[in-house]
Structure 1
């Protein structure tokens, strides 16, 4: 469930609101153990996602670094290479 939570700090351009929300959603799903809450829990679930997203954005806005911003495409290529090494390259069709 949480594998789709990615590092959001120190990228150019900065993380979007959609990326922050997606990470918050995955975090709340993991904590609650539910990908789709019941109607009785939907409001609490949505409030938790909003609170985590707000805290995440506040954190990202507060962090500082002297390191140069990372390149998204380069980081995605590294992640694909790690996955290929870990799980093996899929056989050609």
Structure 2
């Protein structure tokens, strides 16, 4: 799975349209192998992004859980700790 695609479900506040679109863009880029498509493939690429965004939004809206929503700031702090453990101390 692409590292740039982040979990979007069960956050408070919920994922924004921009976050869902960004995840869809990364997914389509990964599948197609294009960072930016040629003019010949641009329409298909953009349509795929729109379709994946719509399906992802539908999925996120239909999922249910009994778990407490996650806090974005706490998750960001945890990710920073994991990155420091993985890659070493960040340089100033």
Question: TM-score interval w.r.t. the shorter chain?
Answer: over 0.9
Q: What TM-score do you get using the length of structure 1 for normalisation?
A: 0.94
Tell me, which stretches of 5 or more residues in structure 1 are unaligned? none
3-state SS, counterpart of residue 4 of structure 1? coil
**Number of matched residues?**
92
Alignment of 1:48-63 (within 5 A): 48-63=48-63
Query: Following superposition, which runs of at least 4 residues in structure 1 exceed 4 angstroms of deviation?
Result: none
Paired position in structure 1 for 2:3? 3
Tell me, which stretches of 5 or more residues in structure 2 are unaligned? none
Q: CA RMSD in A?
A: 1.3
CA distance in 1, matches of 2:69, 2:91: 35
Residues 17-74 of structure 1 show CA distances to partners (whole Å, capped at 9, x for unaligned) of: 0000000000000111110100000000000001111110000000000011100000
